[in-house]
Structure 1
Amino acid sequence: MKIALLKEQAAGENRVAGTPETVKKFIALGATVAVEAGAGAGATIADAQYADAGATLGSRAETLAGAAIVLGVQGPDPASLAGAAPGAWIVASLNPFGERARVDGYAAAGYEALAMEFMPRITRAQSMDILSSQSNLAGYKAVLDAAAEYGRAFPMMMTAAGTVSAARVFVMGVGVAGLQAIATARRLGAQVSATDVRSATKEQIQSLGAKPIFVENVKGIEGEGAGGYAGEMSPEYQAAQAELVSAHIAKQDIVITTALIPGRPAPRLISDAQIASMRPGSVIIDLAVESGGNVEGAVAGEVVTVHGVKIVGHRNVAGRLAADASALFGRNLFNFLSAFWDKEAGKPVLDEEIGDAIRLTQGGKVVNARLLG
Structure 2
Amino acid sequence: MSQTFLPDAPDGPDSPTAPAPAGPSLRQPRLPRWAPLGLAAVSAALGAGIGALGGLDSRVQWGLIAALLYIVLTLVLAGAVEGGRQARDRLATSLVWVSFLVAVIPLASLIWETIARGVKVLDGYFLTHSMNGVITLEPGGGIYHALIGTLEQVGLATVIAAPIGLLTAIYLVEYGTGKLAKAVTFFVDVMTGIPSIVAGLFVLSFWIIILDFGYSGFAGAMALSILMMPIVVRSTEEMLKLVPNELREASLALGVPKWKTILKVVLPTAIGGITTGIMLAVARIAGESAPVLLLVFGSAQINGNPFEGAQSSLPYYIYEQWANGNEPSYDRAWAAALVLIAFVMILNLVARGIARWKAPKH
What TM-score comes out, normalization by structure 2 length? Answer: 0.24
Of Structure 1 and Structure 2, which has the larger fraction of its residues in helix?
2
The structure having more radius of gyration, on CA atoms, is: 2
Of Structure 1 and Structure 2, which has the larger fraction of its residues in strand?
1
What TM-score comes out, normalization by structure 1 length? Answer: 0.24
